Amino acid sequence: MIDNFTIKLYSQELSEKYLKSTGNYTQSSWVWKGENDKEKETKYPLRKKVNNIELRVTEKNSVLGNSIHKYFNINNYGEKQGNQNYNDFAYCNLLEALEQLEQDFKGLNLNEGYLQSLEFGFNLLVDKEPKYYLNHNFLLFEHKAPAINKATNAMNYRKFEHGNIAWKVYDKKTQYGLENNLLRVEIVLGSRELKRLGIQTLHDLKNRENVLLLFSRFMESFKGFTIVDNRFNRKDLNPEFISDLGNRLEPSYWKNKRGKSNLVRDKMKLKEIIKQSNLSTTEIYFTELIRDKFNELFYDCDVVRQVA
C-alpha cells in the first residue's frame, strides 16, 4: 500500500548535528575556510543512507524519504532480491518497517517534521497485458490527459495531475520483466491533502484509522478517472456512436469546454453514455480488484500478525 514518502524535518541544525554525531554520512568534500585557517567548513549536502532511505541535509533544509516498501524488502531479502516494490506490502509489514526505520535513525526524531508527499496504491494482478489497460482504458482523469505518457520497451507509465493530487498507473510487468500481468495504480498526496486528512508524520501511519482514511480518499478520487471499455471491440455499436464517444474521450474536447455553462451537463452526459452502453465493466473490474486487494493487505494481514 504505502510506498514513497518525503518528510521535511523542522530543524536543519538538529539533523546536521545528528549526522555529525553518528559519523555515518557522506558529503562532497571538506574545504578549508581560509588559507591559514585550520578549521574546516561543511560542504553540503550531507547524506546518510540506510538501504534506500536517505536523509539529505543542505545548508537550509533536511529531508528524509524514499520507498518504505523497498526499504522493508531490502531488510528482509537483501539488496539483490529486495530492491523492488512489485510484491505485496501489507499493513503489518508497514508497521514492522516503521519500527526498524526508527531504530536505523535512532537519535533523530522522525516525527519532528511533516510529510511533504506520500504514495498509496496497489499492485494488481490483471487479466490482460498491463499496457492494454493503459492504452485503451485509463484515458482521462478529471477529464484531463495524462501529464506524462511514457511507452517504451522498458516502461509503460501514465501520470495524471489534478490540484494537490497525482495518480500513477504503470506496467510493473514490463518494468521488472515479470511473467505475471502486474499493474500498479497509486495516488500521490501532497502535504496540504495529507494535512486535511490529519496525517502529517510517519507515526500517524501506525494508526489503523488513518490507513482507512487514506483508502477512502483513494477510492473517492479514483472516481475521477474516465475508465471506459474498448469501444472498438463492441460489434453492436454503430460507427456514429463510436465516433461521438471517441470525440468525448479526447482531452481537447474538454479543454474547449472549460468555462462554458454546459460543462457539468456534458460530463454527466459522458457518464450516462458509458453506463447505458454497458462500457463500464472495466471500471467495475478495477474497483473490485482494488477493494479485494486492500482487504487482503489490511485485514487479512492483521489476522496473520495476531497468530504470529
Which tens digits make up the pLDDT trace of 267-276? 999 999 999 9
User: Which residue reads 498509496 in cell numbers?
Assistant: 120
- With a cut of 50, say whether residue 308 has pLDDT above it: no
- Residue-wise pLDDT tens digits, 194-218: 999 999 999 999 999 999 999 999 9
pLDDT score, position 304: 42
Q: Check: CB of residue 172 under 8 Å from CB of residue 184.
A: yes
Measure Cα distances from 17 to 8, 12, 14, 24, 108 in Å: 16, 9, 5, 12, 9
DSSP-assigned beta bridge partners for residue 104: none
Confidence of residue 147 (pLDDT cuts 50, 70, 90): very high
What is the value of pTM for the model shown? Answer: 0.91
Q: Which three cell numbers stand for residue 171?
A: 506496467
